[in-house]
Amino acid sequence: MDDRLRDLQNERKNYKKVLYRYLIILSIGINIIGVELVPILNIPTFLNAIGTILAGVLMGPFIGTLVGFLTSIILGFFIDPGYFYFTFVSILVGFIAGYIFKEYPFNIKTVISASIFISVITAIVGNTISYMAFGGVAGDQIDKITHILIESGFNIFLAVNITGFFANFLDKLLSFALVFLVIIILDSQMDMQDFQIRWK
């Protein structure tokens, strides 16, 4: 009986390891697809953290951190070296999302609160990096807003910060909304006990 129970526990652990590996790969893939969609959709946001948030919510802060880190490295090598500079921002997103949903229940109230909190933190850090490394112009879709603000009379520092806060807030709201929908779908299709998510 004890051997059978031990075998079942080992099978469950192995299943969880395989599941997490696939989800890590899927989360990174979602981030890359999001980045590729931004210029196609022509929206002033990033969409490079949807998978990072999903990983953090489902698998915890450290896996969220790992996904954020790996995403930035892959994007930096294969799409734009500028992503290397924002690796710390991606790490923050994964860690904070994972920590919040490890401690608090997954519901609309927490999702909205988390999206606001993360957007403020990432805007502060991201704006600082953008201003110091690129003079406020990082070569992405949100630069259009920065240029409009500068032409309207704002100085570059203020223009970068206004744009950054707007873009990050929009980005995190969209990202969390998509993650919320994905998790609701997953919950209806599979057993969620292998994940850290709390519903109450």
pLDDT by position in tens, the chain (length 200): 566 767 677 787 888 899 999 999 999 999 999 999 999 998 888 999 999 999 999 999 999 999 999 999 999 999 999 999 999 999 999 999 999 999 999 888 999 999 999 999 999 999 899 888 887 666 566 778 888 888 888 888 888 888 888 999 999 999 999 999 999 888 888 877 778 777 65
Cα separation of 137 and 194, whole Å? 42
Q: What is the reported pLDDT for 145?
A: 82
pLDDT at position 192: 78
Q: What count of other Cβ atoms lies within 10 Å of the Cβ of residue 195?
A: 21
Domain count, the chain: 1
- Burial of residue 171 (number of CB atoms within 10 Å: 0-12, 13-18, 19+): buried
Total-model pTM: 0.91
Give the rounded distance of the alpha carbon of 55 from its chain centre. Answer: 8
Which residues constitute the domain of residue 68?
2-189
Cα–Cα distance between 69 and 146 in angstroms, integer? 27
Q: Which of 193, 195, 178 is nearest to 49 (CA)?
A: 178
Which two tokens mark 160?
């970068």
User: d(Cα 41, Cα 59) in Å, to the nearest integer?
Assistant: 30
Residue 197 lies in a domain: no
In a domain, residue 200? The reply is no
CA 150 to chain centre: 29
pLDDT in the model for residue 146: 82
Residue 26 lies in a domain: yes
Whether 195 is covered by a domain: the verdict is no
pLDDT in the model for residue 32: 98
Residue 198 lies in a domain: no
| Helix, coil or strand: residue 89 | helix
pLDDT of residue 137: 67
Does residue 36 form part of some domain? yes
In a domain, 9, yes or no: yes
